[in-house]
Amino acid sequence: MNIAIRAATLQCAQSRNGQMHAFSDSDGLYPLHTPAAPAERSLSFLGRHITLPYFNTFAAAKLSAADLFDILYQHLSQAALQAGWPSESLANTPVFIGSTAYLMSEREQMLNPGYVSAAGIDAGRHSLTHVAEHLHHRLGNPDIFSFATSCTSSANALCYAVKMLRAGWCQRALVLGFENFNALTFEHFHAMGLLADTPAYTPFTQTGGFICGEAAACLALECGNGAATLRGIAGGTDTLGLTHTDSAAVKRVMQAALSDAAAQPGQIRLVKTHGIGSAAADEAEAAALHALLPDTPRAALKPFIGHTLGAAAIAETALLLSFLHQGALPPLPAAAAYAQTDAPLAAHGLTLDSGLYLMNFFGFGGSNTSIILEHRA
């Protein structure tokens, strides 16, 4: 059974004035403005003050739990509205949430003298299940599912929503991904030596690292076909290490997605790579693509909005939908950096036609997902 994406919302660093944009599969998608360079965030590490690039989205430096809850509600309600669903759908449509940020920004602000959490916010809780509980009460919806699988959080949320729809357990689903700044995550990745220290985000060039970003996005799914249809999903976990990406496991998960979509490698028009910017992870993904899809054009979307971690799958799917509607994949923001490399990202600047598009999302712990989207122009 195919699953149609009836509507989507996206709020990211390339959104105009940081505002949420909502669109349906029938009214066309909004064009992003000219890609902006990342801003900066500061941190203290081992007694040193360090400033690194970061793709900011939200007006506040750190979102309070109350502000975050309002943002998530707006994305859910706008996605349902754009899909043309009745008002009561927010109470009876299963909601799937993926994030690695949880309520850490609220928790960190509580350490500041004089900070007072908003009424109704449990100051002792900051997990993703608390976000789910809030939405359960606010929407009157008992079916709120949360996923915290590192950078595949919203990818796994999307996969499980598709599985439930295919099984006939529901006719509609809302899949929500969000990521907002918190110092714990930022300092954690810096301590691991994974963050870029220049604003040029250039996956597959063996240089730099990745640049984090904030985002919130939502997809409204329904059984059937549409302008954008989810044809294949696959997920798997390798066991080679906490942070190691295994090329054989990546190849297997892409093969599984192709099998689920009843598609052959030659039918894939473009691969939306995970393209994180970490040398080891990029090498593993490139090796798997060379083995399975050696001649298929490849694209990277993180240079446009940053690595939005747990929100990446939903945010990048919405971003790809926007580019598909426009009919072309824009040049990479730091395209000049690829002139002296053999990085296989020639798809940027090319026309995007109807067909199958494969999207990769990988995360710590060996969590790998591949999703195949069919676009009908």
The pLDDT-based confidence of 344 (bands split at 50, 70, 90) is low
Which CATH topology does 228-375 take?
Peroxisomal Thiolase; Chain A, domain 1 (3.40.47)
Nearest to 138 by CA among 81, 80, 72, 78: 72
Least confident segment among 22-26, 104-108, 244-248: 22-26
The radius of gyration of the chain from alpha carbons, rounded to an integer in Å, stands at 19
Which residue type, as a one-letter code, is found at position 39?
Answer: A
pLDDT digits (tens, 9 = 90+) for 225-257: 999 999 999 998 876 766 678 899 999 999 999
What is the pTM (predicted TM-score) of this model?
0.95
According to the 3-state scheme, what is the secondary structure of 20-64? CEEEECCCCCCCCCCCCCCEEEEEEECCEEEEEEEECCCCCCCCC
What superfamily would CATH give domain 3-223? Thiolase/Chalcone synthase (3.40.47.10)
What does 54-98 look like in DSSP terms, one character per residue?
EB--SSSSS--HHHHHHHHHHHHHHHHHHTT--TTHHHHS-EEEE
pLDDT digits (tens, 9 = 90+) for 152-193: 999 999 999 999 999 999 999 999 999 999 999 999 999 989
Residues of the chain with CATH 3.40.47.10: 3-223, 228-375
Over 60: is that where the pLDDT of 29 sits?
no
Average pLDDT over residues 189-217: 90
Rounded CA-CA distance 199/197 in Å is 7
pLDDT digits (tens, 9 = 90+) for 262-305: 999 999 999 999 999 988 889 999 999 999 999 999 999 999 99
